Structure 1
Amino acid sequence: MHKKIVHSFLTTFLITFILGFGLLYVSLYKASISQNRQYLMNTVKLVKNLEIDDLNTTRLGDTVKSEDIRITIIKRNGKVLYDNYKNRIREKHLQREEVKQAIAQGTGTCIRYSDTMQRSYLYIADYEEDNQTIVRLAMPFDGLSQSISILLVPFLFSIAVSFMVVFVLSKKMANEIVEPFKDITNTINSTNISKEVLSFHKYNYPELYGITDALTNMSEENKKYLERLEKEKKVRQEFFSNASHELKTPLTSIRGYTELIRSHTIQDSAQIDTCLDCVLKESDHMTQLINDILTISKLETEEMQVTYSHIQVKKLLDSVVETLKPQIEAMHLNVYVNATEFTVFASLDHIKGIFYNLISNAIKYNKQNGRIDVVLKKNQKNMYFSVEDTGVGIAQEDQSRIFQRFYRVDKERSKTIPGTGLGLSIVKHVVYYYQGKIHLTSKEDVGTKITVELPIIVKEIPEN
């Protein structure tokens, strides 16, 4: 880049210098022609005011000789009345371009090379129609070639000096331009982008702000992305660890009861039935756990085949509460349901899962003789569902993780409470699937309230 900038400066300088010199040459050339033409036209006027015999005796004759000006006076029929070069040159004057122009237009001018005189001349011709006479003057005209030959050495010297000055300045400017890019490169190479955010100096070039800001933003996004990957890695590790543990526990129980029956250690039929009931219970637990894991996986990857239908949510909520009635009675809980009848268009399994998991958690983590308030209502296009309990509550530091897979707040207490630890995670994924909102408020030893808002309301209940 440094060499490219220097080369560009030098190339631009040379092109500009050559173009400038060319324009100057053309301008001077035209100015010289114009000046000499005007001088000859003025001389023509003097010649026309003199008699032919006086041309050699007046001061004008001396002037034209000193300046090597040729004077020719020609009649319209081609007869030469006067020519101060008549002893040296014989030519057909009427065939000359300047003479033709003068006869046609009154005046004529031409620049051409004379083979006889071995040099270029500027010709001016003036035609007097009254006396049918053409006055033609010619003077040597070499353009600016003589001046150029004189100025060539100074020109070459000046271009050499200018070239060196431009070369030094271009290298200095190139260094100033490239230096910020080197600094940016060094900053990038010396920064651990997985842990740090790129930070650049303030440069004198506003154009670099866009680059540095973009790199800083990219660095921030990259850091956040890596942090998210690390977090997801830990979540996956924890997930597999918890999943293995949760699956291993019922498998161990099933294997233990099976070995007892297989070894005929237990002979009593009632005890055998008890073992078989435990095997079935643990099998159901494993099935529920696997189903929950598959449900979360499909929700995360959006691969679940969802069947939508019109659901009367109050009836569905009543049936869920009725299903959980044995657990409610076992805890001696007071459940208050405030529900409005309306219809939503969604997956029955999804809505039932939200109702079941939230109320089930409110039961399991409640206190004996506690209370549960269930509210189901609508507002325009949104369904609001909230469950509030008077249970053990959730500590502030645990509330940000409560919706993670397998996360259970009170590890010791969770051992005695059945469940997979996936219920709230499923609720969260279902809510996000419908682009809804979920809100948690909780206080230890006071209770927990979870509110779900879904934009799935149907204004009119379909007949079918």
Structure 2
Amino acid sequence: MQKKLMTTYLFIISVTMVVAIIISWHKGNEHIQETIQKDTQVQGILLLELLKKEPEGEAIDFQAYANWYAEQANVRLTIIDKEGTVVADSDEDYQVMDNHAYRDEVAEALKGRTVSRIRYSKTIGIPYLYTAMPMDLANFDGVLRISVPLTTVKNSAMEMVRYVLYGILIGAIIAIVVAFLVTRRFMEPLKELTDAATRISEGDYDNKIYMRHNDERGKLAHAFNEMTIKLKLNMWNLRKRNEEFEAVLSSMINGLIAVDEQYHVFLANEQAKAILGVEGSLLDKSIYEVIRNTTIYHVLEKSIEQQEYIVDDTIIADEKERVIRVYANPIYKHKSASRTLGTLLVIQDVTDIRKLETMRKDFVSNVTHELNTPLTSIRGFVDTLKHGAISDEKIANRFLDIIDIETERLSLLIQDILSLSAIESTDQDKRVDEYDIKEIIDEVLDILEPKIKKKNIEIINDINQGLTYRCNRDRIKQLFINLLDNAIKYTEKGQVGITCSRDEQGLKIDIWDTGIGIEEEHIPRLFERFYRVDKGRSRNMGGTGLGLSIVKHIVELYKGRIDVVSRVGEGSRFVIFLPYGEVNE
């Protein structure tokens, strides 16, 4: 307490000293400037009188006068003719100096007035006090200008302020000694209060003060006891808030790190450590010590330097090659504050988002290409028909057949895109019921019968009657159509088979063929949109490139899985497992 009182006294004394020095400096500087201004005017008048006494008819060596007088009076002397040309200067070579006709003080003196101005000298490079007055000699009309550097004024003012400061310091020392004696006398009754406050600061909130005084000290003791009770309650609330805050941090899906102005971590959650692959505590450590990522450093330093929100992406070079997004934003105590308390880093794993964005871009690009191909073909043949080919019935019919094929291909592509979009936009299938799988497959084989007969392929349908599954009939039917159509399409001769079985876990579907097979390097990408093993062959067979992608999304809709086994020249096998209990109405 005594230290605080002494600090207050010292602060008051310091403020008083500063105010006195500022006032002394301002008034002293102003007074000295006025004195020097009057002195330069008097000097100019005396110098003009001296010049007028020069014999008439003889040329006056103004430069010699300027040098002599400047040396005697410790000023700068400049003589300017009525055209503004400098004819003599004590500090610079007058022959290379600019025309001074438009200098403020020179312009006024040319009009016959004596003036003084404070202005920065471009020639010398320091501020000057200029006093200019008209020169009216027998052989010369112009301006006499006396200049004094303001450094001289400041030095004089400083000398005066120095003496003022000595007096203030002596008074301050006396005031400090008196303040020390007075505060020490009044501090002894507060010792008990200080001891009690120390015990409370150590966590003993049950401590009480018993001070038998009816004056302000007694009131203070009572207020202190009341404060202890409230403090105990506030600490309980604070601990509760801290627990809630820690629960919120641990529940965040994004990582959070807060660093102070010295780049030391003072707040971090477990998710940040998990995303960045950091072990151990981050608190009270330099972020450069616990995190090794230049992008995070760059985002953090740029946010601190520019005092603004910064975001950037970086790659975590681990076995998964994860992409993370780093947000950095200054931490202010309140919105109107100009100084920050540190910087907040929010770290988000955007690997999946980046993959989805890449898939979206690829999908748009592929859709554009796939739509453009049939449209270009249709427009080309229509244009040919319009320019005369329609008169040839044989050519016209052939072109119309091609247009019909391309139109059908376009229609199939749009239907597949709509189907894929519908599947992706839902996480649960609708209109589900218990359906007989054999009945669904029989309908699919009836639809594909023309293709089967055309290629003379043997279909092996090994499914028992009464095998049911709870599903959306149209969705499962579409799955079978796409898989069987693919098997028939890429089997030139031989067999296409389908078997189904069920157990306690779910339904197993096995569709195989003896077709051309798939090279092993292509299997991981089979279910990508528009991915084709042989692009030219697939287009010639009428494929849209979305069939297997639709199959995969239907299987994922039912929380199932699909595996592919294939050998070139021997055929392919698609094995699908659909679990029970994952689809609800």
Q: How high is the TM-score relative to the length of structure 1?
A: 0.51
Pairing partner for 1:349 from 474, 479, 483: 474
> 2-side partners of 1:450 and 1:177: how far apart?
52
What residue number does 1:449 align with? 573
Runs of 5+ in structure 2 lacking a partner? 1-193, 201-263, 267-281, 297-313, 319-344
Q: What letter is aligned with 2:315?
A: K
What residue number does 1:143 align with? none
Pairing partner for 2:417 from 282, 290, 293: 293
**Where does 1:9-408 land on structure 2 (aligned, <5 Å)?**
19=199, 181-184=284-287, 187-188=290-291, 190-192=293-295, 194-196=314-316, 222=348, 225-302=349-426, 306-341=430-465, 342-366=467-491, 368-380=492-504, 382-408=506-532
> 2-side partners of 1:363 and 1:282: how far apart?
21
Q: How far is the alpha carbon of 1:384 from its aligned partner?
A: 2.1
What residue number does 1:66 align with? none
Secondary structure of 1:195's counterpart equals strand
> Per-residue CA shift, 1:12-46, capped at 9, x if unaligned?
xx8699659xxxxxxxxxxxxxxxxxxxxxxxxxx
Inter-CA distance 244–304: structure 2 relative to 1 (3 Å threshold): farther
> 1-side partners of 2:456 and 2:293: how far apart?
65
Q: What letter is aligned with 1:196?
A: I
Q: CA contact under 8 A between 1:334 and 1:371: conserved in structure 2?
A: yes
Runs of 5+ in structure 1 lacking a partner? 1-13, 21-175, 199-217, 458-464
Q: How far is the alpha carbon of 1:303 from its aligned partner?
A: 8.0
Inter-CA distance 271–191: structure 2 relative to 1 (3 Å threshold): same
Q: How far is the alpha carbon of 1:237 from its aligned partner?
A: 2.1
Secondary structure of 1:453's counterpart equals strand
Q: What letter is aligned with 1:442?
A: S
Pairing partner for 1:437 from 561, 564, 581: 561
> Per-residue CA shift, 1:31-86, capped at 9, x if unaligned?
xxxxxxxxxxxxxxxxxxxxxxxxxxxxxxxxxxxxxxxxxxxxxxxxxxxxxxxx
Structure 1, 251-260 or 417-426: larger mean CA deviation: 251-260
Larger Rg: 1
Instruction: Give yes or no for the alignment of 1:425 onto 2:549.
Output: yes
Q: How high is the TM-score relative to the length of structure 2?
A: 0.41
Q: How far is the alpha carbon of 1:190 from its aligned partner?
A: 4.4
Q: What letter is aligned with 1:356?
A: I
Q: How far is the alpha carbon of 1:180 from its aligned partner?
A: 6.0
> 2-side partners of 1:360 and 1:286: how far apart?
18
Q: CA contact under 8 A between 1:340 and 1:378: conserved in structure 2?
A: no
Q: How far is the alpha carbon of 1:444 from its aligned partner?
A: 2.4
> Per-residue CA shift, 1:170-189, capped at 9, x if unaligned?
xxxxxx99896232355448
> 1-side partners of 2:513 and 2:434: how far apart?
29
Inter-CA distance 177–369: structure 2 relative to 1 (3 Å threshold): closer
Q: CA contact under 8 A between 2:437 and 2:468: conserved in structure 1?
A: yes
Inter-CA distance 369–189: structure 2 relative to 1 (3 Å threshold): closer
Q: CA contact under 8 A between 1:337 and 1:375: conserved in structure 2?
A: yes
Q: Percent identity?
A: 33
Q: CA contact under 8 A between 2:444 and 2:480: conserved in structure 1?
A: yes
> Per-residue CA shift, 1:429-454, capped at 9, x if unaligned?
11111112212112222221111222
Inter-CA distance 273–311: structure 2 relative to 1 (3 Å threshold): farther
Q: CA contact under 8 A between 1:346 and 1:456: conserved in structure 2?
A: no
Secondary structure of 1:393's counterpart equals coil
Inter-CA distance 18–404: structure 2 relative to 1 (3 Å threshold): closer
Q: CA contact under 8 A between 2:493 and 2:515: conserved in structure 1?
A: no
> 1-side partners of 2:511 and 2:423: how far apart?
23
Q: How far is the alpha carbon of 1:382 from its aligned partner?
A: 2.2
Cα RMSD of the aligned pairs, angstroms, is 3.3
Inter-CA distance 182–336: structure 2 relative to 1 (3 Å threshold): same
Structure 1, 377-386 or 288-297: larger mean CA deviation: 377-386
Inter-CA distance 177–415: structure 2 relative to 1 (3 Å threshold): closer
> Per-residue CA shift, 1:354-382, capped at 9, x if unaligned?
1101111111222x222212112332462
Q: CA contact under 8 A between 1:357 and 1:423: conserved in structure 2?
A: yes
> Per-residue CA shift, 1:260-318, capped at 9, x if unaligned?
22223232334333322322222221111111112112211218983334432212211
